[in-house]
């Protein structure tokens, strides 16, 4: 008995920004995955599942909301270790997702202890299980895709920043598009195999374009000119840390590869800017350096221009320092 096929990504109507973000992640998984925000009924999970078909492994693993720690990381059979002299490992979700997609629906409702485990593994690419002096280590490299409805609660800042790209879906869809969406969904539900066969040509073209982009990705330089433009704009947006700069640069290169170019242009940088900045942008920009201020402002009392960053001006922050802000920004 064959599994029911997933709705093909090429048949999805609208959601162009999200589809582009997923394409870029398929081209360069090191971008760090995608956080998809939007109200219920926006086919967020359908779109997320479509990514698996664009990856080499095609693996798509879901982390259930009520999962236990053992379900996530796996278990070690100590009885087998005592009798056979080696630990018998039962793989969890992290092991099954290695090389593919790890999908977390309602990721903002994930318990804190699972968030901590997920953060550790996502950063290292390795899952380590230890029990009573016995340990097992395995590779756990995956594309992390999360969906959430912002009305149901915020996401922890540490996990929010771990997602490379962030896309928000609007619940307001034009009548014409709504009709197309419903018609295609009805056709798929009526006969999934036939529907997928009808879209196989477009789906294969999409796979081939992603594969071609992956093959040329490494030949596109992460040049200093593109990096300088990105770092200036990250500074202007007041983002913390350096992850935004790195993700933005990788996404811009993947976008150049997607359109068949051999170098990053400003158009590539602009095309992915909101994806990289949306969940990292602060409500207020950092203070303007003194040499950019008019003479009258430069001669003002220094204590009058400290703002929320305190006494240390932005350009004097030590390397690696983190600016503290009163609260996490509201989503636009």
Q: Which residues are catalytic?
A: 243
DSSP 242: S
**Contact predicate 32/162, CB 8 Å:** yes
Tokens for 246? 């790195």
CA atoms of 234 and 252, how far apart (whole Å)? 14
Exposed e or buried b for every residue in 208-233, given b needs 16+ CB within 10 A?
ebbeebbeebeebeeeeebbebbeeb
Exposed e or buried b for every residue in 296-318, given b needs 16+ CB within 10 A?
eeeeeeeeeeeeebeeebeeeee
Q: Please, which residues have CB within 8 angstroms of residue 49's CB and are 6 or more apart in sequence?
A: 6, 7, 60, 103
Q: Which residue has the tokens 């002299």?
A: 85
SS3 123: helix
CA atoms of 47 and 299, how far apart (whole Å)? 55
> What's the Cα-to-Cα distance from 244 to each of 6, 107, 135, 250, rounded to whole Å?
32, 21, 35, 10
Partners of 138 in the β-ladder: 127
């Amino acid at each position: 008995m064959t599994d029911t096929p997933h709705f093909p990504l090429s048949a999805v109507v609208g959601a162009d920004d999200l589809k582009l973000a997923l394409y870029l992640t398929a081209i360069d998984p090191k971008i760090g995955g995608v956080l998809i925000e939007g109200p219920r009924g926006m086919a967020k999970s359908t779109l997320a599942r479509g990514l698996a078909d664009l990856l080499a492994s095609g693996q798509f693993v879901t982390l259930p909301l009520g999962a236990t720690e053992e379900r996530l990381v796996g278990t070690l059979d100590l009885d087998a270790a005592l009798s056979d002299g080696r630990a018998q490992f039962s793989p969890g979700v992290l092991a099954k997702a290695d090389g593919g997609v790890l999908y977390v629906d309602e990721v903002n409702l994930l318990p804190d202890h699972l968030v901590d485990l997920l953060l550790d593994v996502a950063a290292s690419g390795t899952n380590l299980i230890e029990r009573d002096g016995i340990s097992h280590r395995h590779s756990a490299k995956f594309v992390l895709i999360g969906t959430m409805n912002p009305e149901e609660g915020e996401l922890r800042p540490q996990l929010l920043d771990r997602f490379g790209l962030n896309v928000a879906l609007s619940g307001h869809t034009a009548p014409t598009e709504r009709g197309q969406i419903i018609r295609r969904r009805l056709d798929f539900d009526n006969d999934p195999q036939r529907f997928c066969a009808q879209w196989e040509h477009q789906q294969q073209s999409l796979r081939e374009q992603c594969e071609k982009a992956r093959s040329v990705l490494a030949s596109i330089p992460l040049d200093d000119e593109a990096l300088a433009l990105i770092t200036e704009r990250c500074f202007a947006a007041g983002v913390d840390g350096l992850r935004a700069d790195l993700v933005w640069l990788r996404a811009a290169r993947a976008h150049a590869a997607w359109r068949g170019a051999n170098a990053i242009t400003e158009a590539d940088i602009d095309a992915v800017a909101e994806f990289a900045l949306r969940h990292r942008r602060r409500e207020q920009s950092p203070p303007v350096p003194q040499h950019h201020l008019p003479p009258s402002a430069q001669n003002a009392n220094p204590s009058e221009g400290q703002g929320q960053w305190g006494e240390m001006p932005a350009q004097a922050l030590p390397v690696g320092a983190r600016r503290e802000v009163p609260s996490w920004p509201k989503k636009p």
